Structure 1
Amino acid sequence: MKEKILHKATDMFLNYGFKSVTMDDIANKMGISKKTIYAHYANKTKLVEDTSMHLFHIISGGIDHICSLEKNPIEELYEIKKFVMVHLKDEKSSPQYQLQKYYPKVHGTLRDMQFEMMQECVVDNIKQGISLGIYRENLDIEFVSRIYFSGVNSIKDIHVFPVNKFPVSKLMDDYLEYHLRGIVTPKGRKILNKIINSNQG
């Protein structure tokens, strides 16, 4: 039952936001009593914490798998973006923003874990791109990986990028292109243009 509650809560939080969904909503949707949920989760914060970690492990596992396929580094970043967007349901309800505002402690822990995971993944991606001659060899790898991470987080700020002006999927595409155009060689640019053109088709 705990597993079922976790899955349903994850789904609802992503669709409607962490603040908007109540324990009553989850109980009603599952056709169980609120008491049943409280038998497994002492409070909503604990449930939010578990769903966030659950989601993090699904996403980091998927990213690890994509990285293990040893695709072309530019293609790899697009595959990761696609995978993350599917699992975050295009972040329609700005769950990241709600998590930061209403559950700052959970958000902070998650952010540290994301940083560690992304840092490793992006550093490997950059090194691989340099060795293939599709990223510039004079890049400061630590700088590029950190600026990429902070950019990915900054574009989730709905005050700076309101969803009605910047749909999440397009925003992620634009940011990824912006990142890659700054680091590719002419050889890499050809691959990038090919991927962008095929994505628009």
Structure 2
Amino acid sequence: MKDRILKSAVDLFWRYGVKSVTMDDIAKELGISKKTIYQQFSDKDAIVKEVVEIELNSEQCDIDRLEAEANDPIEEVMRTSDYMRASFATMNPVLLNDLKKYHPKAWASFQKHKHEHIIQSISGNLQRGVAAGLYRNDIDVDVLARMRVEQIEMAFDPAIFPPQKFAMIEVHTQLIHHFLRGILTAQGFEVYNNYAEKSAQEVNQS
């Protein structure tokens, strides 16, 4: 039952955001009473926190797999970009902002994950790219890793990118490619352009 509640909550939160989904909505989606939910979770905040932690762990496993499968750091970034596009396609753009404003425990889990895993993952990619001669050797890895992770969070901010005007997926795509192009060497650009051309061909064929 606990797993069913969490799965239903994920679906509803991703579709409608966190704030607008009530315990009644979750109960109705599952065809159960709120009492049954409260037997598993003390309140909505507890559901949100567990949902966020599960999704972050799942995402980290996927990112680790992409890193292991990629032939080089640029392919890793390009594949991560595709992964993010697929993930964000079903995500309500207000989701992250709802966590920040209304669920401090879940937001703290996200911030912990951001600093312990996402920044570390980006730093590793930057270091590998420099070592391979694909990224400029004069970049400051610590600065750029933090800048990149803040870009990801910024794209969710409705005050900067109002969802009625900007598609979140396109904002993320623009930011990640702008970031990547700014650190490439001449050799890196050749590799990047090959991936970009291949990606464009696949889009045209689909």
TM range (shorter): over 0.9
Runs of 4+ in 1 over 4 A off after TM superposition: none
Letter of the structure 1 residue corresponding to residue 100 of structure 2: Q
The residue number in structure 2 matching 1:32 is 32
Q: Which runs of 5+ in 2 are unaligned?
A: none
3-state SS, counterpart of residue 91 of structure 1:
coil
Q: Is 2:199 the partner of 1:196?
A: no
User: Shift of residue 70 of structure 1?
Assistant: 4.1
User: Once the two structures are superposed, what CA deviation does each residue of 1:141-200 show, in whole Å capped at 9, x if it has no partner?
Assistant: 111111111111112111101122221111111001110111001111122233334434
Letter of the structure 2 residue corresponding to residue 95 of structure 1: L
The residue number in structure 2 matching 1:13 is 13
TM-score, length-scaled by structure 2: 0.91
Q: In 2, distance between residues paired with 1:149 and 1:87?
A: 17
Q: Is 2:61 the partner of 1:61?
A: yes
Residues 193/162 of structure 1: CA separation in 2 closer, same or farther (3 Å cut): farther
Q: In 1, distance between residues paired with 2:114 and 2:90?
A: 18
3-state SS, counterpart of residue 163 of structure 2:
coil
The answer to whether the 8 Å contact 1:126/1:141 transfers is yes
The residue number in structure 2 matching 1:41 is 41
Structure 1 segment 1-201 matched on structure 2, within 5 A: 1-200=1-200, 201=204
User: Once the two structures are superposed, what CA deviation does each residue of 1:90-115 show, in whole Å capped at 9, x if it has no partner?
Assistant: 53242001111111332123112122
Q: In 2, distance between residues paired with 1:157 and 1:199?
A: 28
Residues 85/5 of structure 1: CA separation in 2 closer, same or farther (3 Å cut): farther
TM-score, length-scaled by structure 1: 0.93
Letter of the structure 2 residue corresponding to residue 12 of structure 1: L
CA RMSD in angstroms comes to 1.6
Q: Which runs of 5+ in 1 are unaligned?
A: none
Q: In 2, distance between residues paired with 1:94 and 1:121?
A: 25
Q: In 2, distance between residues paired with 1:78 and 1:66?
A: 10
3-state SS, counterpart of residue 39 of structure 2:
helix
Comparing 43-52 with 157-166, greater Cα deviation is found at 157-166
Letter of the structure 2 residue corresponding to residue 92 of structure 1: N
The answer to whether the 8 Å contact 2:23/2:34 transfers is yes
